[in-house]
Amino acid sequence: MTYWRKRPDLLERVFHLLLSCSGYRQAARSEEVSPQTIASLAARLGRHCQLVHEELRPKGAIQEPLALDSFESFEYSQDHPTSYHVVAGKKSHFFLGFTESELRRKGTMTPAQRRRRSRIEALLGRPNPRSIEREVAELLNIVVPKPQALELHTDEHRAYPRAVRAVAHLQVDHRTISSRAARNPQNPLFAINLLDLLLRHSGANHKRETIAFSKRRQSGIERMWAFLVWRNLVKSFSEKYPGESPAMRLGITNRLLTIKEILGRRRFPSLVSLPARWTVHYWRRTPTRRLPRIQTHSLKLAN
């Protein structure tokens, strides 16, 4: 962390770069540091933002309908798709949280791609086919932990009804809409469709065709936590009518926060109790099949 000690503004600058569609090597060239320095600071930002979100997110009953969808990206290569399950307030657009699933490659493939998928699965195993159902249910358990009636909007993915049935403590009014419906403000999934658009627009690692993709799912998760805090606390709800953030709409903050303010006070996992599923993110325990060594986080002097 030599560069961090010499340049106390570097963490803030890296935060901005990660949300400005820069890859790690682009950010490293811009700041005249190594890509590994950027990767280390991005991981630290992800952990910090995770604790910030846990401090501020609504813990009581949800007072608005929710929109939920799965945002697809990939890790290591396009042979290893990842689905980030994201949920947001339908009216406030407050990004409540996410879980993720490792997917089997699907869609149109050439014969060579199918043979490569078979070889990979024979060597490394096949992702759990019920992972989406399990992870969506886990996400709902986290963001709506207490019994209540809940209006939930999703597309017609077949795993979502099974996930809803698994959260027995909720009385869910599950409403579906075709993914082919116009993605305009009148669409009940507009909050989540806009979130997906902003994720691809802001993150180089989520472009459809890119060399800046996350090599490890853990890295993508950490960038997602940074994006979540920026979307909720820093960015205006609307570009056309700026001035109010999703957090302001829920009464969590009374003004737009700055990155400097978000980084101004350190948080510690011993003082902020994370849900069990999200502790896997914090301690960097998310595996990548093609990279068997997991680079976990060991708490020393830094959060």
- DSSP run (H or E) holding 39: helix 35-56
In tens digits, the chain (303 residues) has pLDDT values of: 444 455 768 999 999 999 999 999 999 999 999 999 999 999 999 999 999 999 999 988 999 999 999 999 999 988 999 999 999 999 999 999 999 999 999 988 999 999 999 999 999 999 999 999 999 999 999 999 999 999 999 999 999 999 999 999 999 999 999 988 999 999 999 999 999 999 999 998 888 788 888 999 999 999 999 999 999 999 998 888 888 999 999 999 999 999 999 999 999 999 999 999 999 999 999 999 998 888 888 765 555
Residue type present at position 255: R
Distance, CA of 197 to CA of 84 (rounded, Å) = 14
Encode pLDDT of 2-19 as tens digits.
444 557 689 999 999 999
Encode pLDDT of 170-185 as tens digits.
999 999 999 889 999 9
Strand order in the sheet with 95-102: 95-102, 81-89, 66-74, 148-154, 170-176
**Residues in Cβ contact with 150 at an 8 Å cutoff, skipping those fewer than 6 apart:** 62, 65, 66, 144, 170, 171, 172, 173
C-beta separation of 117 from 109 below 8 A = yes
> Cα separations (Å) of 39 from 3, 6, 278?
13, 17, 20
Count other Cβ atoms within 10 Å, centred on residue 65: 16
CA dihedral angle for residue 91, residue 96, residue 100, residue 103, rounded to 10 degrees: 0
Count other Cβ atoms within 10 Å, centred on residue 35: 14
